[in-house]
Every structure is written in structure tokens, then in C-alpha cells.
Structure 1
Amino acid sequence: MSSVQVGPDTVDDVQDPTPTMALEVVVIPVSDVDRALRFYDGRLGWRLDADVTTGPDFRVVQLTPPGSGCSIIFGIGVTAAEPGSVQGLHLVVADLERVRRDLIERGVDVSEPFHDAGGVFHHAAGDALQRGPDPQGRSYGSFASFDDPDGNRWFLQEIQVRLPGR
């Protein structure tokens, strides 16, 4: 009698030729780890998953936004990127105004809602950004933004109905 060994990669390859990949962690460059921790844990209310120090040159802090499968990491010795250089992370929300109110009540300086004149995705800046939520109320079309203490920029994006296949 013979047997066939089937491993995780083999199972994925049989069902789908593209192996599964999941975005698990995003590294955020910060200048002051404790200040960032107070912001993300204290102000935003994100779950603290880990705070590990192995010496004066290495500390890693991991937090996860409510309902997210992806976490952020910051600390000492985890990235050479300049603090404040992350400028486009999106947090998907079902109700933009509700989340804005909650964050403002927590002391976070959140922008007014905005949309892009083209109606697709927001431009980084300029004339294409329009005040107020998407006038047609379309999913993917309304945004607000806020910065962490170092200037890393986050966007809230309202999605009520996902595009097919998403």
C-alpha cells in the first residue's frame, strides 16, 4: 500500500494555483514608543497584543484595530523608516460619521468628511478633494483622515456594500 503526503502548499495548489497570502502586520515608524502606545491603545482603543523588550536597542509593540485581521507594529529597532513617513493606511468603516464622532470623543483630531471629485479614490491633495461625504452615498467614496502623534496619516474609508468578489 502506498500513501501520498499532502502538505498545506499542495492543498492550496490543488484548489487555487495562487498560494494564499494574508497581510498580517504593518510597521509604523514612530519617534516615541510610549507616546505612540498611549495614542493607539489609549486614544484609539486598539487591542494591545504584545509589548516586548529584549534590551535597550529592541522593543516591539503590536496592536490591532477592532475587527481587523491586520495589526500594526512599532518600537525601537524595528524599522529604519522616518517617523511620520507612512501616509496612506486605510481603516474601513461601515458608518463614517459614527466612527468620526467616537474618535473625536476620544480626543483624536479627525478631518471633516471628504470625497474625490472623480468619485473613485481620493487624490493625495489638491483640487480633486471635495468637502463632505460622497454626494451619492456610494461605498468606497467617503473619507476622513487623522494623524498619529508623529504625523503618520490614516484614512477612514466608508464601505457599506463591497464590490463583487471582495
Structure 2
Amino acid sequence: MELKLEVVVIPVANADRSKAFYKQLGFRLDADFVSAKGLRVVQATPPGSEASIIFGAHLTDAAPGTADGLHLITDDIVEARDELLRRGVAVSDLWHDADGVFHWAGETNRIPGPHPDRDSYGTYASFADPDGNRWTLQQIVTRAPGR
């Protein structure tokens, strides 16, 4: 069986504000429609991604801003961070986790700066959307075998 992650629903309070934010990030706007009963679906795709996010109205019971652990992968985290900053996004400085395995929730165990070996999977930066949904940039230059 083959399964692909296609869409992640992001809980937001204001679809138009979120639409503007994700367009500011450079996400491609794929859809924006409202059903006769008021279901609103806005779909946006990060540059280079096959998976998309969807937000709008009546899509989830989750409270706006509660999405956490959303990762955007890049092979050049310095350039990606700089591009987001140029686009007006408040992005953290680069950081890595003290354990070097993944990263803890929140800001626990963070060490400022890139991973000392500049290893794939080890360097991060983070930001939040207008509702507080939390995103992490992660650098992967060479993927682990099988990925």
C-alpha cells in the first residue's frame, strides 16, 4: 500500500488574514471557495511541496493557533530564513537541540546557533502564523537512507 500525506488542516480565526500571511510566505494559493452552507476552504502549498495546508471556516473543532510541530524542510536554512525575513515574517534565530536527535516541545533543550557539524536534521528556526500556529524550519541536506 502507498499512502501520501496530502493535506494538513490548520485552525485559524480569520481565513482572509491567514490567506494573506501564507501568500506572504510564498505559498501557492490553490483554492478558495465557500459552500452554500458556509464551509470555507482555502488551500495553500509551500514552495516545492507536494503536501498542502487547508484552513477556512467549519473545517476543524480545534481552537485557532493550536497547531504545533508543523515542519517546513529546506536544504539551505540560512537562505530560507533570510527569505522569510525579507518577506516580513518574524523568524527565530537558528538553533539546535542539545540531544541532537530531534527537538523537544517548546523551547526546552535549545542551543543557539546551527548544529556544530551542520548535519542534516539538526538545525532549526521557528515562527508562528498570526493565530499562533507554530512552524519549524528544518535543514535536511542529505536524507537518511530510505527516505
TM bracket, shorter-chain basis:
over 0.9
2:72 is matched with 91
Which amino acid in 2 is paired with 1:32?
N
Number of the residue aligned with 2:85 = 104
Greater RCO structure (CA 8 Å; 6+ sep): 2
Alignment-derived partner of residue 130 in structure 1: 111
Residue in structure 2 matched with residue 121 of structure 1 by the alignment? 102
Q: Find the residue that maps to 2:111 and give its secondary structure.
A: strand
Give ranges in structure 2 of 5+ residues lacking alignment: none
One-letter code of the match for 1:115? H
Output the TM-score relative to the length of structure 1: 0.86
The DSSP-based 3-state class of the residue aligned with 1:35 is helix
Deviations 1:45-73 (A, max 9, x none): 11000001113621100000011010000
Matches within 5 A, 1:38-57: 38-41=20-23, 43-55=24-36, 57=38
1:56/1:34 CA distance change after superposition, 3 Å = farther
- Paired residue for 2:4, among 17, 22, 32? 22
Structure 2 length as normaliser, TM-score?
Answer: 0.97
Letter in 2 for 1:132: G
Name the counterpart of 2:16: 34
Matched, 1:150 2:131: yes
Tell me which amino acid in the other structure corresponds to 1:95.
Answer: D
**How far, CA to CA, are the matches of 1:110 and 1:44 in structure 2?**
11
Superposed CA deviations along residues 87-127 of structure 1, whole A, max 9, x for unmatched, are 10100000001000000000000000000011110111355
Distance 1:130 1:90 in 2: 19
Aligned to 2:47: 66
* Bigger Cα displacement from structure 2, 67-76 vs 124-133: 124-133
Rg comparison, structure with higher value: 1
CA distance in 2, matches of 1:31, 1:121: 30
How many residue pairs get aligned? The number is: 147
